[in-house]
Each structure stands twice: as C-alpha cells, then as structure tokens.
Chain A
Amino acid sequence: MNDQILWFATRGAGVVSLLLFTAVVCLGILTVARWQSPSWPRFLSRELHRNLALLSVAFLAVHIVTAVADPFTSLGITAALVPFASSYRPVWVGLGVIALDLLLAIVVTSLVRNAMGQRAWRTVHWLAYAAWPLTLLHGVGSGTDSWALWMLPTQAACVLAVAVAVAWRFAADRSNRSQLASVVDGGSRGGA
C-alpha cells in the first residue's frame, strides 16, 4: 500500500467536499428563491439541497479523519476541531476548522429543526454564507493542489456558481419588491 494514500484521500475528499458544498449553497438559494421549471419542481431543489448536504458531510468526515490520521502532518484531533491549534499551516487549516465548526452547528440544528423552531434554525442556517467562503479560502491556502491546472478552474467555477446564485437571489428579491410596490400602488389608486 502506498504510504501516501491517506494524503491522497485527504486531498480528494477535500475537493469533493468543496464541490458538493458549492452545489448545496446554490440549491439552497434556488430553494429560497422558489425557482422552478416544468421539469424541475420546487421540492427537488429542497430535497437535493438536504441530501447533497448530508453527502458532503460524509466526504468532509473522510477529509478530516484521513488528515488527522496522516502521520506526516501530525495534526491531532485538537487541531481538527479547535481553530488555529494546528502546527501545520495554522492560519489556512484554522479557516477550515472554523468552517467545520459552523457546518456542525448548521447540520445539528437542521436535524433538530422541528424541536428548536423555525426562527432560531434560520439564524444558524445563515452561517452557511460565512462557512462557504471560509471553506474556499481553506482550500486555496492549505491545499497543495491550489495552483494545479485542474484545480484553478474548479475553484473559479465554484466562486462563479455561488456569486451568480447570490446575485440572482438579490436581483429576484428586488424585482419582487418593486412588483409589490406597483401592486400596492395600483391597489391604492384603484381604491381612491
């Protein structure tokens, strides 16, 4: 067995986690924006959002367990859970650890959403908008493949996907509000 197999697993699972997490963020935005088409009902975005999120957690677990188990970086379990406790690339690994802690909060609150109530759940869920960029920065900064020919366009595609989704969400929100204004306006004029 190749003695670098843990290291390969860490890198591979990290990249897959980033791709899945990116898809999850975009699907979450599609869900809340109520996007649909004749071949894509609304519940599909919502269900894919949840299932891909759980899948990304599985890859994230592989990413972390193999990184901790790898003797080369000698991270230790503390460095995997406490931000900036790592001796190996402390800042960049630390950003990933913060993202992990935020994600754990998001996943746990989502699993018990029925018990904790919608409002508190939603507040915690907004942390995803902080966790995703931290994940990306963690990958760029501590990833050994960041400047590889295949990784640059992958990272760029992730940034582009989330940027387009966020921009589109705000644009859709604005057009809804302007529509609301015109409806209210028309209504009051009609009533006058």
Chain B
Amino acid sequence: MSSVTQTLAKGQAESLPAPTTEDFIVRRPSVLRMLVSDVGACISLVLVVLVIAGAILAPWLAPSDPYGGDLANTLKAPGEMGLLGTDGQGRDMITRLLFGLRTTLLMGFASVVFGCALGGLVGFVAAYYTRVSGLLMRLMDVLLSFPAILFGLAIAAIFGPGLTAVIIALSIATVPLMARVVRGSAIVVLQQDYIESARSLGMSDARIIFKYLLPNCLSAIFVFVTLRFGQVILLGAALSFLGLGAQPPTAELGAMAADGRNFLFFAPHVSVLPSLVIFVVVLAFNVLGDALRDALDPKLRK
C-alpha cells in the first residue's frame, strides 16, 4: 500500500512540470473591489461620486438660472414650486444647491490639497532632518496659535473677501495641523529597523521618504485628511456666514444656510437643505476615507 502511494507520488512529481511563479501569484482584490465589499464604503463611494458629478455638471443639470430670481415666488416650500422650493429671492433651490455644492467642494478640495501638501512637506522634513525640526515646528506652533477665522479676517482684509481669500486662509490654517500629524507618525516610522536597512543600502533621502516614510504614514494621513475635509467645509461655511467668503450672488452652501436663518420659522427648507447637503457630503467623505485607508493597507487586505 505504502509503496503504491510512494510510486504514485513519485510518478506524479515526475509528470508534473515544475511550478512557475505565475502558478502561484496571489490574486489580491483590487482597491475598488475592497471598497465595494463593504456596505458603508459602497454607499459613501456612490454618494461621493454623485456629489462630485453633480458639482461638475451643475451648469447642465440645473433646471434654471442660479442668479435669476423670481420675486413673485419667494420662499416657496418644497413641492410648491420646483422640487425643493425657492429661496428668499425666489431662486430655485435645486439649482442653488448644485451651484453651492460646486463652490463648497472646490473650496474644500483646494484648501485641503494645498494645506496638506505644504503641511506634509514640512512634517516630513522636520521629522527627517532633525536639525531644522525645532525651527520648523516652532513656526508651526505660531501658525497654530491663530484661529482659522482670524486668518480669514486678515486675508479678506488684504485681498478683499471672496473664495480665494477663504481658500488661502483655510490652507494656512491646515498647514500646522498636518505638519504635526505627519511629523508625529514619521518619527515613529523612522525608529523602525527598515529605515536603517534602507540607509545601509545607500538609498537617497528622497527614495527613503517616498518609498518608506510616506507609505507607512499613510493611515494617519488619510484619517487626518478626511477629517480635515469635513472641518474645512464647516469653517468655510462659517467664514461665508460672516460675509468673508463667497460673496452674493455666488451660491455657496454655508452662505445659503446663513441666508436662510431669517426665515427659519416659516421657510426652514432654505437653511435646512444646504445644511443637510453639507452633512451628507462630510459624512460620505469621512466614511470613504476610512474605507480607503483600510483598502490601501496590505495588512488589512484579505
């Protein structure tokens, strides 16, 4: 019996070709597939895609002119006129929301991208080159001591109020926060043996930073960026509310929520609808950010 098994095994081993690498390549699910496999991530992905598409395609999707009001039909409730009613100037709410989304997303993206890029650079440099760390981080502390609203006021005073001023102010307010998060996690990563192994190979600093440091700090960065995106949208809304942001008649979700406050008791939809959109956008981006962080981590990919 055993000899039979042996010969069988032997025969099999001889008849089979030696396995090649391609036979054993592990099929890893793609990042997209990972996202789709999670219900929350799936919903947030769809929402984010819809929101971005709506913002980009606003001029074509909007049923009417975002600036042309109809003063005979102001503060119409949803369903009464158009699907979602009209605002204080009789402008269609759907149109306003789509254009407002466009402005708000642009503001959010732009300030997060600029602020985090600069803050990330400062953070990595401060962690990697310990010589300049003290100077850079004290500089960041100075920035950190100013509230974002104050930046908004100062920059609006210099450039005049408007979207650009808000983006600049929010970018500057983001830089020190990002720098701290990045420096903190980069310092942890720099303690690891694999950084020393990279040095022992004679790798360039740029390669170490981009191949070793950045990928291993990605989780912290993702969490911060998605959280910050939500905060920036809310801060931008606050600045618009104070009249420092997008100027009328430009539609912006924060400014729209502010406009509606006078009619809060008899036409709540004017304030509630833009606030709801802000809520959904921020939530969707946060959930998606979390899911994306998990999907990009090889340890959590199954």
Q: Do A and B bind each other?
A: no
Interface residues of A (CB under 8 A from B): none
